[in-house]
């Protein structure tokens, strides 16, 4: 039985919508707990997206727009990156992927 984050360590501060206040406090355990809270069981394909998002954030200090993630997925050979991304995060890139990746909630967004 896998322990929840509360049993492992304290959850960093979240805003009223459940996004990390400080993206630098993110780690894999936090991602797993945030995903659990919204009903996503993370697999290797989810982690591919999350790792790309975190790398992009480290390089640019801003969350990757969905179109960047879609292009990354297509370069990795998934075919239709948009459908793949929204298959992994069916309730939306911002509502699920950005939250799990530890991004602040974007104010304006392109969905690709």
- How much is the pTM? 0.86
Phi-psi domain of 12 (left: phi exceeds 0; alpha: psi -120 through 50; beta: other): beta
Dist CA 40 CA 107 (whole Å)? 24
Report the number of distinct structural domains present in the chain: 1
Dist CA 18 CA 9 (whole Å)? 17
Residue 2 resides in a domain = no
Residue 78 resides in a domain = yes
Residue 105 resides in a domain = no
Q: Which domain holds residue 51?
A: 11-100
pLDDT tens digits, 7-32: 446 899 999 999 999 999 999 999 99
Residue 6 resides in a domain = no
pLDDT tens digits, 36-62: 999 999 999 999 999 999 999 999 999
């Amino acid at each position: 039985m896998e322990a929840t984050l509360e049993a492992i360590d304290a959850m960093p501060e979240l805003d009223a919508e459940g996004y990390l206040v400080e993206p630098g406090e993110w780690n894999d355990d936090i991602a797993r707990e945030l995903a659990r809270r919204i009903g996503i069981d993370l697999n290797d394909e989810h982690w591919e997206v999350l790792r790309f998002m975190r790398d992009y954030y480290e390089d640019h200090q801003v969350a990757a727009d969905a179109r960047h993630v879609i292009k990354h997925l297509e370069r990795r050979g998934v075919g239709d990156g948009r459908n793949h991304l929204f298959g992994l995060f069916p309730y939306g890139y911002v509502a699920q992927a950005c939250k799990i990746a530890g991004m602040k909630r974007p104010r304006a967004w392109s969905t690709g």
